[in-house]
A and B are shown apart, each in its own frame.
Chain A
Amino acid sequence: MDTFSKYLLTGLICLVALGQFVQVVTRYLLQIPVMGLEETMLYPTIWLYILGAVNASREDTHIRANVLEIAIKTERGHTVLAIIGEIISLTVGLWLLSWAWEYTQYAWRVWKESPTLYLPTFYSEVALVAGLGLMMLYTAVHLFRHINALRAGAAK
């Protein structure tokens, strides 16, 4: 999974860099900008953002301000705090997911197209619901992990 995500994310980010690079080269050196490149790059860009966020959930490296964690000294305290955090994340995240689902249904129904090449934009729009879904899955995994740690701690 780790290797897979490395290749996937590095591939996406390099693809995006390459797309921008091609735009400079064609405009500046060849004087013939590629039409529709920008709208094509939207797909890897959005998926890069969303899958990057999913990976942050997987690795549990989302940005957080661990203010209270510094004040709490015990291992058990940290685990309880983490459980509270994950429960809030899960509640809020599922609510957001329901709105992302609404958005996806809308995108499916309207089936928008990009302005020059008429590519269906649904394939980038669906990233949000997919990403939030996976993020919730990983959040749930972390929640169970913390609960197990708390149980194991209590059993000792």
Chain B
Amino acid sequence: ADLKMSHVRPQDTTIDKELRAFATQVTEATGGDVSINIFPASALGDYTTVQERISVGAIDMATQPAAAAADRRMQISSFPYLANNWDEARKIYGPDGPVRNVMAELYAKQDITMLAAYPVYFGGIALNTDPVSPGDPSQSNGIKVRVPGIKSFQLTGEALGYIPSPIPFSEAFTAIQTGVVDGVIGSGAEGYYASFRDVTKAYVPANTHFEVWYMIISNGSLAELDAEDQEALKTAAADFEAQRWTVAEEDQGKWEQRLSEELGAKIVDLSDDELSAMAAKVREDVWPVVLEDVGADWGQGILDQIGK
């Protein structure tokens, strides 16, 4: 079978190379039965559209964030300050983690099978201006930042003392460059390096959320493979994920370093106390609202499993 797989980053980026290696592995493991064609840079549409097209069987596969348009409970995946460090992240999003399990169920409701989770990074804040008391969320710092049109990010931006401004991604770069806003929330070091590198003067690694992408396949496309090939695909995906967990943390550090060394961006050093204060503020301000949105009982049930 000839499968088409979409992802959101440009050609030759880390994920692009990793997916190409994955594709090669799948072809070898299936003795050439399955070949995967990679479409980088959202060439098949942005991730929300692609998820829907996978759901109806128009595109086979993707590795990308979860889109919550069809089911708002999917927001649990990018819930702010759910994990505080890489160990917690692995417990929550890694194999058999509570969020990952529930995401697999939610995908299944959309006729999609989740093959793997792909940990990307902890999110932060990129600024094109000097940070103003970046470690103190208790007061407004007056900096306008672009947030994606997703409620939890908007509320998180506000809780951390910024003035969130919802600007579409397509206009975001220009908006920062001309000074309509002075920064961005919603991505991490690697994402900012990829899309905003010319307008990043400072980076605040505030661990706003844990960015995790999922490798997903349309149930229809999966069903067309014979049992052996399905097994080979799933094994390759599990290897792909396991491999990523071993390098993700280091990878994140590498991108922060590139922001600093190549672009001369100032990487703000936040103390553990400052990070806890931010997490506490967001939990207090944002969680009740977002929990209400996804269904308080359902959401709390998952938080209970995590122990929060």
Contacts and interface: CB of A to CB of B under 8 A. Distances in A.
Interface of A: 27, 31-33, 35-39, 106, 110-116, 118, 121
B205 to A, nearest CB: 25
B107 to A, nearest CB: 14
Contacts of A37: 166
B295 interface: no
Interface of B is mostly: mixed
17 contacts: A27-B144, A27-B165, A31-B144, A31-B163, A35-B154, A38-B149, A38-B166, A38-B168, A106-B56, A110-B55, A110-B70, A114-B69, A116-B151, A116-B154, A116-B166, A118-B293, A121-B69
B17 interface: no
A111 B71 CA distance: 9
Contact of A33 (B151, B165, B293): B165
B70 A112 contact: yes
Nearest to A121: B69
A2 B240 CA distance: 61
B20 interface: no
Nearest to A118: B72
Name the residue in B110, B163, B165 with the highest tally of chain A Cβ atoms < 10 Å from its Cβ.
B165
A112 B144 contact: no
Bin the interface of chain B by size: 20 to 34
Nearest to B142: A31
Contacts of A106: 56
A115 B163 contact: no
Contacts of B166: 33, 35-38, 116
Contacts of B165: 27, 33
Contacts of A38: 149, 166, 168
A116 B149 contact: yes
Contact of B69 (A27, A31, A35, A115): A115
A39 B110 CA distance: 23
Interface string B161-172: 001111010000
B267 interface: no
A115 B149 contact: yes
A120 to B, nearest CB: 11
A134 B72 CA distance: 33
B150 interface: yes
A84 B65 CA distance: 48
A116 B163 contact: no
